[in-house]
Structure 1
Amino acid sequence: MNPVISGEQLKLFNPHLLKSFCQNRFTFIDLFAGIGGFRIALEKLGGKCLGYSEIDRDAREVYQKNFINYVNSDEIDLGDVKQIHHLPWRIDLIVGGVPCQPWSIAGKSGGFDDPRGRLWFDVIRIVELNQPQGFIFENVKGLTDPRHQKSFSYILESLTNSGYQVQWKVLNSYDFGLPQDRQRVFIVGNKTLDNDRIFFDFPQPLKQKPKLYNAINHISCQEVIKTKFPPEILYGGKNKIPPARGRFQKIDELNDFFIFADIRGGHTTIHSWDLIRTSEREKYICEVLRKNRRSKKYGNKDGNPLSFADLLTLIPDLKLRELEKLVKKNIIHYKERGYEFVNSKISSGINGISKIFMPYADAISTLTATGTKVFVSKIAIPCQTPDEYKRLFIKEVYRKRRFKSLTVKDYAQLQGFPDYFIPHPEERTAKKQFGNAVSVPVVFHLTQSLLLVILQNETNQSRDISSN
């Protein structure tokens, strides 16, 4: 198999533009450099790195192994961004993936109260002191959420007041050729000039339609013709379509993934009672508990244990021994004042599995630094009726273990890193670093658009100066 995202560094890009940019070599500073996602894209566009900043030891080792030639390199390890002030060069671009944990749910959304959140103050200070021609900063989509509106506005206003036209947009890696549903906010600035200027515009999505099998090895490349279903079959009625379906979930098609969760419903949800030998009566009891555990009449939590007395009001002929059998099967347990599922967290999944994606899926869920319990099926399953789809998946994929975890190579491909990139030798660390990285093709196209503006504005400014 020859994945689309492989081979020479990023061969899907316009060679004529690359030649133009190489002739107009630009300089850049790589802040919060990580393992070099920004740098790969910028060097492909002809950029020369003058200095980099990364304080994580493991990430710095990978960065230096891939990019730094200690014999010929004249670039500087800038160290901690808090110690960076005036730089001794003319800088065209400053780029960086500013630490995202303070703005994400996983990082407890501490914002500026988190020391990592306050690193934005250093970013603003460095831009203001050194006045590059432009900048690109990346962060999690959570930075744009209403709860962070005041902080986000402060960042944008401060960068604007430093002398820049500033714009921001949430971009998805899928739109730039990667089969990953990864949304990140990019803040882009170019210097405000007194003369006529071209304004920056974000790049448009590519016309590619990637699939998981384009980026992941050793899985089926078979396409599946999807049957269209009315909402009565998929959801039980037109008014029962879940409102929170994602971009890659069609309302009239079966999902391209199966989620393992006892506390959720849906035509591609796998419950523990689907995997353990259970009677129809036991399945019914589990479904009653699942459908009622979020009811406010049983408590104010997002999921509440139900007592035996509570369940009796829902199943009048229920026997205590029936619940005890489900406890022995490790499907439910007694917690606080009642019964709750053992597998009561979606993030934990069931038996170490959160989701299994079909190989023909458009995109896998976002890779993260904290790891994932997401797998990919090695084979395709025909999209027949919902019941048959689920039955075949359990029989042919789950029971026969015909699915695979993501390898370090898969992580690299899903982030658009080139084949020659040397990852960290320890698997867990390498996956964490790729999960933290920027998607290379997104940065490439974004920088390409910004450079067009900067180069043209510089040309216009030189023309105005000469005419005076």
Structure 2
Amino acid sequence: MPEIISKKEENIKKKNSIPFKSPKNPKFKFIDLFAGIGGFRLALQNLKGNCVFSSEWDKYSQQTYELNFGDKPHGDITEINEKEIPEHDFLCAGFPCQAFSIAGKKGGFEDTRGTLFFDVARIIKEKQPKVFFLENVKGLRIHDKGRTLQTILKVLRQDLEYYVPDPEIINAKDYGVPQNRERIFIVGFRKDLNVDEFQYPEPFDEQPVFEDVKEEKEVSVKYYLSTQYLTTLRNHKQRHKNKGNGFGYMIIPDDRIANAIVVGGMGRERNLVYDDRLTTFKPITHIKGVVNREGIRKMTPREWARLQGYPDNFKIEVSDVQAYKQFGNSVAVPAIQATAKAVLKKAGIL
């Protein structure tokens, strides 16, 4: 006879299954904007921070976030009233890169309206957190001929009056994960903290390789490429090579580091691996040709999670398509944590 569980017991069981709970005695409060699946939150909770607000519009990312942290992020940030956001010490945001319409203007706060950076800025202006930490793609430096970054820094430094050291390009491979992933980090300190210099954290001594994050057991045949698809990739690469281009698939040896994982395009094809442990070659998906016998496969979502520094108890219950998208969009947790720790120490919070 099946066990009968009351609604109260079911809720308790569900709550206890949440792997990443807020610390019991938090040292600071933070908000998590453009939260994705919670990379920033994971890093800051590891540093004894308590998340008091989060925002993420993608419904599948919201599902993964809630599954792991126990609360569902608020939706579209443009519809959130900054006055209703709880007080906090630390604001973090991995906002998208957008150009500003600043032709013939001063390129200040008002000129960022209509962009998602504006929503970050208006929240900083209203809530005045002690510190903030913004993350973006490396290309932000040259976006719109450098005007985008120039305007962002002007708003943060002049309009909002924060001390903002020069942004730094941080590579995830230097902070404990085997992935060549460069991102721009922008941090800021409220004026009354009297901070006038800041050093980004030194790279870690150890350099992990793909073997350190590789699946321990045989993976499903669905991750192995068909012979026809492999031929297509090889022909594509050869065509580009003949034109003098470097585009094309790549196979990452176990003793090397992965290329940056990205949402689409060649994100998976530039991170193929050798794995000769497959014992069942019968396809379980619709493929053209047969499963290759060279042991060439895509990385799994769990391997992508590990490349971003997510622990193995981080739950993945969405489709592979969504999982690749979510981890490709995510921040690299160890690089975020190392930088956030340096910021918190400099601000006298830790």
Normalising by the smaller structure, the TM-score range is: 0.7 to 0.9
Report Cα offsets for 1:169-194 as digits up to 9, x if no partner: 1100000010000000111011122x
Query: Paired residue for 1:67?
Result: 69
CA RMSD across the alignment: 3.1
- Do structure 1's residue 164 and structure 2's residue 162 form an aligned pair? yes
Query: Paired residue for 1:79?
Result: 75
Structure-2 change in CA distance of 1:146 and 1:425 (3 Å): closer
Query: Paired residue for 2:268?
Result: 372
Structure-2 change in CA distance of 1:218 and 1:23 (3 Å): closer
Query: Paired residue for 1:98?
Result: 95
Structure-2 change in CA distance of 1:404 and 1:154 (3 Å): same
Which whole-Å CA distance do the structure 1 matches of 2:169 and 2:24 have between them?
28
Query: Paired residue for 1:443?
Result: 336
Which of 122, 134, 155 lines up with 2:131 in the alignment?
134
Secondary structure (helix, strand or coil) at the match of 1:262 reads: helix
Report Cα offsets for 1:19-77 as digits up to 9, x if no partner: xx9866100011001100000010111100111111111111111111125xxxxxx84
Which whole-Å CA distance do the structure 2 matches of 1:355 and 1:48 have between them?
41
Query: Paired residue for 1:409?
Result: 302
Quote how far apart the aligned CAs of 1:148 are. Answer: 3.7
What amino acid does structure 1 have at the position aligned with 2:76? D
Report the identity percentage: 32
Quote how far apart the aligned CAs of 1:86 are. Answer: 1.7
The two structures have a TM-score, normalised by structure 2, of 0.73
Report Cα offsets for 1:184-217 as digits up to 9, x if no partner: 0111011122x75463321110001111101112
Which whole-Å CA distance do the structure 2 matches of 1:116 and 1:171 have between them?
28
Residues 42 and 333 in structure 2, CA contact (< 8 A), matched pair in contact too? yes
Structure-2 change in CA distance of 1:454 and 1:54 (3 Å): same
Which whole-Å CA distance do the structure 1 matches of 2:334 and 2:47 have between them?
11
Report Cα offsets for 1:264-314 as digits up to 9, x if no partner: 55xxxxxxxxxxxxxxxxxxxxxxxx3xx57xxxxxxxxxxxxxxxxxxxx
Which whole-Å CA distance do the structure 2 matches of 1:39 and 1:259 have between them?
43
Secondary structure (helix, strand or coil) at the match of 2:56 reads: coil
Query: Paired residue for 1:112?
Result: 100
Query: Paired residue for 1:207?
Result: 205
- Do structure 1's residue 262 and structure 2's residue 238 form an aligned pair? yes
Number of aligned residues = 285
**Structure whose alpha-carbon radius of gyration is higher:** 1
Which whole-Å CA distance do the structure 2 matches of 1:415 and 1:208 have between them?
16
Question: Higher mean Cα deviation, 78-87 or 434-443?
Answer: 78-87
Quote how far apart the aligned CAs of 1:79 are. Answer: 3.0
Structure-2 change in CA distance of 1:118 and 1:419 (3 Å): same
Question: Higher mean Cα deviation, 33-42 or 399-408?
Answer: 399-408
Structure 2: runs of 5 or more not aligned: 1-18, 102-111, 218-233, 277-290
Report Cα offsets for 1:333-386 as digits up to 9, x if no partner: xxxxxxxxxxxx865x4xxxx11111111x11110011421311237xxxxxxx
Which whole-Å CA distance do the structure 2 matches of 1:215 and 1:116 have between them?
42
Structure-2 change in CA distance of 1:189 and 1:22 (3 Å): farther
Which whole-Å CA distance do the structure 2 matches of 1:218 and 1:403 have between them?
16
The two structures have a TM-score, normalised by structure 1, of 0.56
Pairing of 1:267-278 with structure 2 (within 5 A):
none
Structure-2 change in CA distance of 1:48 and 1:400 (3 Å): same
What amino acid does structure 2 have at the position aligned with 1:169? E
What amino acid does structure 2 have at the position aligned with 1:403? I
Residues 26 and 50 in structure 2, CA contact (< 8 A), matched pair in contact too? no
Structure-2 change in CA distance of 1:218 and 1:84 (3 Å): same
What amino acid does structure 2 have at the position aligned with 1:188? V
Which whole-Å CA distance do the structure 2 matches of 1:80 and 1:420 have between them?
28
Pairing of 1:141-156 with structure 2 (within 5 A):
141-145=138-142, 147-156=144-153
Which whole-Å CA distance do the structure 2 matches of 1:196 and 1:446 have between them?
19
Structure-2 change in CA distance of 1:197 and 1:146 (3 Å): closer
Report Cα offsets for 1:236-290 as digits up to 9, x if no partner: xxxxxxxxxxxxxxxxxxxxxx99711455xxxxxxxxxxxxxxxxxxxxxxxx3
Pairing of 1:43-58 with structure 2 (within 5 A):
43-58=45-60
